[in-house]
Structure 1
Amino acid sequence: MPSLSLNLNRANNPSLYTLATVNDDDDDARPLLTPTTPSYGATPVTPRSSSHPSSRKVIFNAALKMACIFVLSTLLLGGTLWLALPTLEEQDRPLLRLPKSFQQLQELNGLLKKYRDIYPYRIVVCYIITYLFLQAFSLPGSMYLSILGGAVWGVARALPLACCCVATGATLCYLISAALGPALLTLPKWKARLDKWSQTIQQNKENMLSFLIVLRIAPLPPHWVVNVICPHVGIGILPFWTSTALGIFGVTVIHTTIGSGLDDMTSADDFHLISWRNFLGLSAIVVGVLIPVGLRYWFRREVADVGAVEADIEEEQTMNSLEEGDYSGEDRILAAGSRVANKSTTTDDEYEYSDEDDDEDIILEAGPALTSPKPGSP
């Protein structure tokens, strides 16, 4: 109790507090200033383990949350398919699975076409929810879904549907990374790398959309890497969605076009995913996307050159005028005196100022000329 009352008195009395920090006679009281205190009056530094969790613990918590999100999303997918899918016949149930071969792809194509005319909206809902699930967790199989879309609905309908599904599913991955990805920032190596990328993107912010579109077209890096990194380098959700939808457009055209001729194919070799036609088409898209970047760079360089030339001309004219002593460009007032008063009244003490006499010359009384004496004269 005496120790408690003494501490309370110190807290209420600044002088006692100051004395206690300098010289404390109580052996039981802990010193208020310690070697780890950064400065007087600052909160004493506490060990890192007691105030900030370690990087391993933060990453473990993020991984645990990610596992929970995956399980809940899987349950949501299963519940949606259970409610939305039409009742299948016994012989059709084994065909409902994600295709892993060309034969399974054709079997699933025939199954979807069979129930498409009977339950059109249910098939669309199941297609969309499955596509979003694969994209949100970067699981393989989205290419087959794009091919199936072209086979079931044709290129005109499947193309915008697949592009929107890819962009929205990638945005879900973007949001998951934005919520759980900061755990990686606790690692100094990753934080330094992301800070460097963020600085580079901010310096080229006007070309960010074109850069993201090219990344979607290029096979490297993998698209899931782009989805995970974008929220941590200063890229907003709207530019991300737009660039994903536009960047995936060319590849989706190829997939849906292949799907439109799936019924006539006999093997996976008929896909022709890698061909000169597809390569030239994607290259044309890349060139078209990079044209604004090149024009922007060219105009910026031209404006900089014109500005430099004008600055040199102006500096040269200024130097020439200084050398020739040409000051006739503008009148400069070095000093202004008081106005001259005109005596217009009958008394000597009152004067009236008039603007009419401002321009008149003021002639002072001239004295005798001064001559300098000649040398030798007295």
Structure 2
Amino acid sequence: MAAVFIVSTLILGGTLWLALPTLEEADRPLLRIPKSFAQLQALNGLLKKYRDIYPYRIVICYVTTYLFLQAFSLPGSMYLSILGGAVWGVPRALLLACTCVATGASLCYLISAAFGPALLTLPKWKARLDKFQDKIHDQKDNLISFLIVLRIAPLPPHWVVNVICPHVGIGLVPFWISTFLGIIGVTVIHTSIGGGLDEMTSAADFHLISFKNFLLLSAVVVGALIPVALRFYFKRQIASVADVEQGPVVFEEEEDEVFAAGPAGQPKGVKTAQLVDVTDAESVASSDDDEDIILEAGPAVVLKASDDGHSRESSL
């Protein structure tokens, strides 16, 4: 992890060294990641000074710095969003900042996917991850909406979401989309503040907590929950229509199918002739004299025609 951070820092420094325009000696101390309102205003004036002369270089330096902060969850992203609104205006800064946040968070996602399994061997981290995975499993049908609301909520911190998501079965594409959409509301507030940065005198003029901003974030939450409500409504409608079309279950009685007819039953009062084996002397002796004894029916024998042209049959 330390090696990745060092290499990323070298890439950032090399990009700024190559892309930044040649600064005057008086402007060099102003080039820093803003951590206060005074540094933000100084950097705003510096970027506006070189914006019209080197427009593409300024964008490259801005994007590279933003990605670096998001990839390692470092402070300063809010100031860069405000600075973007001051330099490029709200519409362009909004699109640029949301793209940088989503892409930078995806870099943090990939770093966590590569080095995070080592932390999962600790029982404490594994227990927390299992709890979050259960929540994700409960919201699997509304995953995008759930992640959008999670981005707007103050808790948990965004870096926690970036680190945990690759280990609970959330793909990179849904993660990027939900981050982009979830950060829109906050980024609108930040870039709007940047639009009036020149007239501000202190950080108290930001008015981050206001009724207007509350309504804006509420509108984003409602917009994220609309697909959930529509899915729930149409799911119930489809289920009711399916029940009506299916109707009650009717069991029809089927007639018995006769495969083959057996022998006719013997009428009452009629004695059945008894078949006796002629080799069994006792059976012959014990049989009634009045009853007919059928020894065995042999094949029919057809005699040759007699002289009068008629044939006779005899059976043994």
Q: TM-score range by the shorter chain?
A: 0.7 to 0.9
Give the one of 134, 139, 164 matched to 1:204.
Answer: 139
The corresponding residue for 2:259 is 336
Pick closer, same or farther for the CA change 1:96–1:275 going to 2, 3 Å.
same
What is the alpha-carbon distance in structure 1 between the residues aligned to residue 266 and residue 68 of structure 2? 106
Amino acid in the other structure paired with 1:89? E
Pick closer, same or farther for the CA change 1:365–1:228 going to 2, 3 Å.
closer
What is the alpha-carbon distance in structure 1 between the residues aligned to residue 169 and residue 218 of structure 2? 28
The corresponding residue for 2:158 is 223
What is the alpha-carbon distance in structure 2 between the residues aligned to residue 241 and residue 233 of structure 1? 15
**Counterpart secondary structure, 1:314:** coil
Pick closer, same or farther for the CA change 1:236–1:335 going to 2, 3 Å.
same
Question: Is 1:103 aligned to 2:38, yes or no?
Answer: yes
The Cα of 1:260 is off from its aligned counterpart by 1.1
TM-score relative to the length of structure 2: 0.78
The Cα of 1:139 is off from its aligned counterpart by 0.4
Structure 2: gaps (5+ residues): 270-316
Higher relative contact order (CA 8 A, sep 6+): 2
The Cα of 1:116 is off from its aligned counterpart by 0.6
The Cα of 1:164 is off from its aligned counterpart by 0.4
Pick closer, same or farther for the CA change 1:366–1:104 going to 2, 3 Å.
closer
Pick closer, same or farther for the CA change 1:308–1:73 going to 2, 3 Å.
same
Pick closer, same or farther for the CA change 1:263–1:365 going to 2, 3 Å.
closer
Identity among equivalent positions (%) equals 74
The corresponding residue for 1:32 is none
Give the one of 86, 91, 102 matched to 1:151.
Answer: 86
Pick closer, same or farther for the CA change 1:78–1:331 going to 2, 3 Å.
same
**Which structure would you say has the larger Rg?**
2
Amino acid in the other structure paired with 1:224? W
The corresponding residue for 1:239 is 174
Question: Residues 139 and 146 of structure 2 are in contact (CA less than 8 Å); yes or no, is this contact kept in structure 1?
Answer: no
What is the alpha-carbon distance in structure 1 between the residues aligned to residue 267 and residue 5 of structure 2? 110
What is the alpha-carbon distance in structure 2 between the residues aligned to residue 215 and residue 125 of structure 1? 30
Question: Residues 152 and 182 of structure 2 are in contact (CA less than 8 Å); yes or no, is this contact kept in structure 1?
Answer: yes
Pick closer, same or farther for the CA change 1:153–1:180 going to 2, 3 Å.
same
TM-score relative to the length of structure 1: 0.65
Give the one of 248, 265, 276 matched to 1:314.
Answer: 248
Pick closer, same or farther for the CA change 1:121–1:310 going to 2, 3 Å.
closer
What is the alpha-carbon distance in structure 2 between the residues aligned to residue 73 and residue 314 of structure 1? 67
The Cα of 1:205 is off from its aligned counterpart by 1.3
The Cα of 1:193 is off from its aligned counterpart by 3.5
What is the alpha-carbon distance in structure 1 between the residues aligned to residue 245 and residue 130 of structure 2? 38
The Cα of 1:252 is off from its aligned counterpart by 0.7
Pick closer, same or farther for the CA change 1:127–1:365 going to 2, 3 Å.
closer
**Deviations 1:216-255 (Å, cap 9, x if unpaired)?**
1111110000000000000000000000000001111111
The Cα of 1:367 is off from its aligned counterpart by 9.6
Structure 1: gaps (5+ residues): 1-65, 319-328, 339-363, 371-378
What is the alpha-carbon distance in structure 2 between the residues aligned to residue 368 and residue 239 of structure 1? 84
Question: Is 1:163 aligned to 2:86, yes or no?
Answer: no
Give the one of 138, 149, 153 matched to 1:214.
Answer: 149
Amino acid in the other structure paired with 1:314? P
The corresponding residue for 2:184 is 249
What is the alpha-carbon distance in structure 1 between the residues aligned to residue 265 and residue 141 of structure 2? 74
**Counterpart secondary structure, 2:165:** helix
Pick closer, same or farther for the CA change 1:314–1:91 going to 2, 3 Å.
same
Give the one of 2, 19, 24 matched to 1:89.
Answer: 24
Give the length in aligned residue pairs.
Answer: 268
The corresponding residue for 2:8 is 73
The corresponding residue for 1:291 is 226
The corresponding residue for 1:125 is 60
